[in-house]
Chain A
């Protein structure tokens, strides 16, 4: 039995002269929604890709499901939703789901059932046989999420899953994510929308590639003596800038 789905230790990464990740530690136990919060350009996507082994890190180690990354086989146990929708526009939603299901080794007899399940979760059941080129931005986002769920993975890594989705559906998706958590799945969710942070079980605030603070939302608010996560972020950010200025 795996207890910690993801263990990242001292992960550092740079692009050119820019330090994008600076000695990040991250541990994701089972049954938790882990929020990765930070402004755009903070390094969230890079961290996620490093965890998945899609980006080579300069130093540090990542283990997913007790396996040192990068590892191809482990990918089958991770549901990944990329920040930008990577869909085949000339195919229908069903064909996209089928294709990724096949790549994820979903058994043939289970595939139709899984497509219905995943499409139902993101409310696309009636639109399944429409070509993706005719989809709105929000529908594409939902389809990407459905693809991440196609093999019913224990671990979900979702890069800005709710961008471009209307509030009502966003509410619905969070409800679903919580349901998934309740049946023992874990997920890392990145967002730059602060009010979504409150819905996570655990948060890491990341800025300029540095983990500013982490803890449960309540603990963070208490620690910084403020009422919202947004204020935590602003305060932590100011402290970081002050530190940089001192140097």
Chain B
């Protein structure tokens, strides 16, 4: 089969070209690693906060690894900040906390702000939890009392019934005895079931901490956008340049002097480079998720699938764009024009809040659909049904571009 001949050739060429192979497979890992540490950097920075007359419980919750606390004996925030080169100063009068920021370093300001906010929320939660605990204790003692009461009652009923049965049997009244026996069974059965249900309900109280998981970072929330973008970028570049080379070295026109169909060439490219795109996608996704311990809410297969579709769109787009270029340099010129703008619509900035004309642009960007779908899978655990429309749109992009590519090849051979 001619398509497979192309596929095999593409694979061989790719394996020979170690640098391109390394670029395609390792560069995304390198960039993801770099970004991971860049965005993690926030948490290693430490802001210094001066405190004066603040409740110890409050100080305790603010005192995180991002904020160091210094105690001072003055309420003059301005002076103390200047004197001790602090990033902020916290004072308390009764229940009123007053914070003064130096704000010479906005990052440190936001660190204190976040620490203070989350600390106060934690404090609130704690009080809430203690209250709940007290309530639960009260509830439990009530339940215990209730249980005792029902047990006593049942006991009374059972003894009553038992004496009645004995009397009936003595009388020789079998029918009444049986009826009473049944009632006795019921009475004991209800007691056992009621104790069971009481047990089950007593375990349901549980506390949730909103800010408990401090692991969710900028990196995680934008992971999908960047993952999609880099895979898109590299596949676009490599497939475009490869087809361009094929054209400029004359091998494409030589190919068309064989009985091969135009569609067979395009399909060969799609499968060949698509194969590498799969490897790249799996490698990048698995690396990112395992090494950086990304918590994936949804299915990893959906992340693969979405990325693969994105890669195929990039592949067909790269081939399509390469027909308008005559050199690798010209191919590069399309990157800021076609590839880079996609990142802006990948979810870094919420598209809903954009001007309507910008929203319109977003809807012609493959990455908008791909990254959105992926973000939903990664952070919200979206299923195939939820992202199906987005995936179908990506398939649509791919099909249309493939058709255009096949028709575009008519430039080199009419049949």
Q: State the A residues within 8 Å of B (CB).
A: 52-54, 56, 70-73, 75-76, 78, 80, 82, 84-91, 95, 99-100, 102-105, 131
- Whether A54 lies near B253 (C-beta < 8 A) is yes
- Closest chain B residue, CB of each to CB of A77: B259
| Across the A-B interface, the 8 shortest Cβ-Cβ residue pairs | A86-B254, A102-B5, A86-B250, A103-B258, A90-B16, A86-B251, A76-B259, A70-B415
Taking the closest CB of chain A, its distance from the CB of B10, in whole angstroms, is 10
Q: Which of A56, A75, A80, A103 touches B414 (beta carbons < 8 Å)?
A: A56
Which residues of A lie under 8 Å from residue B250 when comparing CB positions? 82, 84-86
Assess A88 versus B251: contact at CB under 8 Å? Given A53-B414, A73-B259: yes
- Whether B415 lies near A95 (C-beta < 8 A) is no
Which residues of B lie under 8 Å from residue A53 when comparing CB positions? 413-415
Q: Is the interface of A mostly helix, strand, loop or mixed?
A: loop
Q: Which of A56, A75, A85 touches B258 (beta carbons < 8 Å)?
A: A75
Which residues of B lie under 8 Å from residue A90 when comparing CB positions? 12-13, 16-17
Taking the closest CB of chain B, its distance from the CB of A125, in whole angstroms, is 21
Which residues of B lie under 8 Å from residue A56 when comparing CB positions? 414
- Whether A54 lies near B256 (C-beta < 8 A) is yes
Count A-B pairs with CB separation below 8 Å: 72
- Whether B259 lies near A75 (C-beta < 8 A) is yes
Given contacts A80-B254, A103-B258, A105-B2, list 10 more A-B pairs with CB under 8 A: A53-B413, A54-B413, A56-B414, A70-B414, A72-B259, A73-B259, A75-B257, A86-B254, A87-B251, A103-B5
- Closest chain A residue, CB of each to CB of B412: A54
**Could you pull out 12 A-B pairs where Cβ atoms are within 8 angstroms?**
A54-B253, A54-B413, A72-B259, A76-B259, A80-B257, A82-B250, A88-B9, A89-B249, A90-B16, A99-B8, A103-B259, A105-B2
Assess A76 versus B258: contact at CB under 8 Å? Given A91-B12, A91-B13: yes
B260 within 8 A of A: yes
- Whether A103 lies near B255 (C-beta < 8 A) is yes
- Whether A104 lies near B258 (C-beta < 8 A) is yes
B147 within 8 A of A: no
- Closest chain A residue, CB of each to CB of B257: A80
Which residues of A lie under 8 Å from residue B260 when comparing CB positions? 72, 103
Which residues of A lie under 8 Å from residue B122 when comparing CB positions? none
Which residues of A lie under 8 Å from residue B17 when comparing CB positions? 90
Alpha-carbon gap, A54 to B414, bound state (A): 7
- Whether A52 lies near B257 (C-beta < 8 A) is yes
Which residues of A lie under 8 Å from residue B53 when comparing CB positions? none
Alpha-carbon gap, A100 to B2, bound state (A): 9
Taking the closest CB of chain B, its distance from the CB of A149, in whole angstroms, is 14
Interface residues of B in 1-42 (CB under 8 A from A): 2, 4-5, 8-9, 12-13, 16-17
- Whether B257 lies near A82 (C-beta < 8 A) is yes
Which residues of B lie under 8 Å from residue A88 when comparing CB positions? 9, 13, 251
Taking the closest CB of chain A, its distance from the CB of B14, in whole angstroms, is 9
Assess A99 versus B415: contact at CB under 8 Å? Given A54-B257, A82-B250, A87-B251: no
Which residues of B lie under 8 Å from residue A75 when comparing CB positions? 257-259
Assess A86 versus B249: contact at CB under 8 Å? Given A102-B2, A103-B259, A104-B259: yes
Taking the closest CB of chain A, its distance from the CB of B111, in whole angstroms, is 52
Which residues of B lie under 8 Å from residue A76 when comparing CB positions? 258-259
B261 within 8 A of A: yes
- Whether A82 lies near B413 (C-beta < 8 A) is no
- Whether B261 lies near A72 (C-beta < 8 A) is yes
- Whether A70 lies near B413 (C-beta < 8 A) is yes
- Closest chain A residue, CB of each to CB of B262: A72
Alpha-carbon gap, A52 to B254, bound state (A): 11
- Whether A82 lies near B9 (C-beta < 8 A) is no
Alpha-carbon gap, A193 to B34, bound state (A): 60
- Closest chain A residue, CB of each to CB of B410: A56
- Whether B253 lies near A86 (C-beta < 8 A) is yes
What per-residue 1/0 map shows which CB atoms of B382-415 lie under 8 Å from chain A?
0000000000000000000000000000001111
- Closest chain B residue, CB of each to CB of A103: B258
Alpha-carbon gap, A104 to B5, bound state (A): 11
Taking the closest CB of chain A, its distance from the CB of B257, in whole angstroms, is 5
Which residues of A lie under 8 Å from residue B4 when comparing CB positions? 102
Assess A99 versus B9: contact at CB under 8 Å? Given A72-B259, A76-B258: yes
- Whether B254 lies near A72 (C-beta < 8 A) is no
Taking the closest CB of chain A, its distance from the CB of B326, in whole angstroms, is 16
Which residues of B lie under 8 Å from residue A102 when comparing CB positions? 2, 4-5
Taking the closest CB of chain B, its distance from the CB of A36, in whole angstroms, is 17
Alpha-carbon gap, A190 to B256, bound state (A): 20
Assess A82 versus B253: contact at CB under 8 Å? Given A53-B413, A99-B5: yes
Alpha-carbon gap, A53 to B408, bound state (A): 17
- Closest chain A residue, CB of each to CB of B251: A86
- Whether B258 lies near A82 (C-beta < 8 A) is no
Taking the closest CB of chain B, its distance from the CB of A202, in whole angstroms, is 24
Alpha-carbon gap, A156 to B414, bound state (A): 21
Which residues of B lie under 8 Å from residue A72 when comparing CB positions? 259-261, 415
Which residues of B lie under 8 Å from residue A87 when comparing CB positions? 249, 251
Which residues of A lie under 8 Å from residue B256 when comparing CB positions? 54
Which residues of B lie under 8 Å from residue A105 when comparing CB positions? 2, 259
Taking the closest CB of chain B, its distance from the CB of A153, in whole angstroms, is 11
Interface residues of B in 210-256 (CB under 8 A from A): 249-251, 253-256
